[in-house]
Amino acid sequence: MAEEIKNLSVDCFNPFLYSLLVNSFETQDYSVDGSANQNQGIRIDFTKAKTDDFIDLFIHVACWKEIEDCGVQEYVREKLGDVLSDVNASGVDLALHITRDEFTKGGEDYLRNVASIQQYILGAPFHKYFKALQEEKLAGLPTKILHFSPNESIIIAPKAASVSVVFTISEEEDTDRSLMQVFLLEFSEAKRVVAGGPSVNFVRDEPVELRGCGVEKPSVGYLVFSFNRDHVTEGRLDSVCELMTSFRFYLDYHIKSSKTYIHNRMRNRAEQWKNLLREARFEEENVQRTTMSGKTFVK
């Protein structure tokens, strides 16, 4: 069944890890020992012997020191149960011990949740601050700066009755920068026609939320979301955390899709011009011809 997962994933769900988990519990005498990079900031090592009825996952998080105090382990336990094991190896920040009993109780839906472990690790800081917003306990919370990727930051800035989330957006290629700027401007303009959503603002200069934070200026700009209490109540909390965690993946997907569309149009237009040139016929003017008798004439 895991082989059916063939679609591109633009969220925190890892289809490869899901396939591996399903095979571990549904395939007899299955063994595996390897690693996978969920993104630039997370590496997952996994191991299972043929005779084991469990699989161990060892997770390294580049920004672990920044999120460790955000209740990551408690949030993972809330979502996956009591599957955390002691961390004994260097370079490992989180260890999961998934047994057959867990699979028997939860089935493939549970394994799908395990394969979304990045959502719970990186979503813990958002959950902490949005939960405080929901319970009106923002007082005393500091601004949190997270480096989920080497060249970008996510800043969670609490205020008296709201929480701002700032994404610093950088792209290395000129084409990517241009496309990203256009998309983010349109994205911020869309707030005018979406009722009830958080305010969204794209700026190229440092927003007021970041003054004094010392965040490096990005090559594209800053995207600022502002949430109030209404956005995280009535069962919306987990959904908001999930969207914020996967938002940067969505941006990458959009840029790659836009470039693919543009390149396809360029190739189609070039093919049309080639066909037009093949069909072109040039008229011959004043061509001198000779008959068999030697007489010449112009046709």
Structure confidence at residue 48 (pLDDT): 92
Multiple choice CATH, 2-121, 3.40.50.300, 1.20.1050.10, 3.40.605.10, 3.30.1460.20: 3.30.1460.20
> Where does 123-255 sit in CATH, by number?
3.30.1460.20
pLDDT of the residue at 3: 40
Q: Exposure pattern of 78-105 as b/e (b: 16+ CB <10 Å)?
A: ebbeebbeeeeeeebbbbbebeeebbee
Structural domain boundaries in the chain: 2-121, 123-255
Which stretches of the chain drop beneath a pLDDT of 70? 1-10, 38, 40, 281-287, 297-299
Span 215-248, pLDDT tens digits: 889 999 999 999 999 999 988 999 999 999 999 9
Convert the pLDDT of each residue in 148-193 to its tens digit. Answer: 888 899 999 999 999 999 999 999 999 999 999 999 998 888 777 7
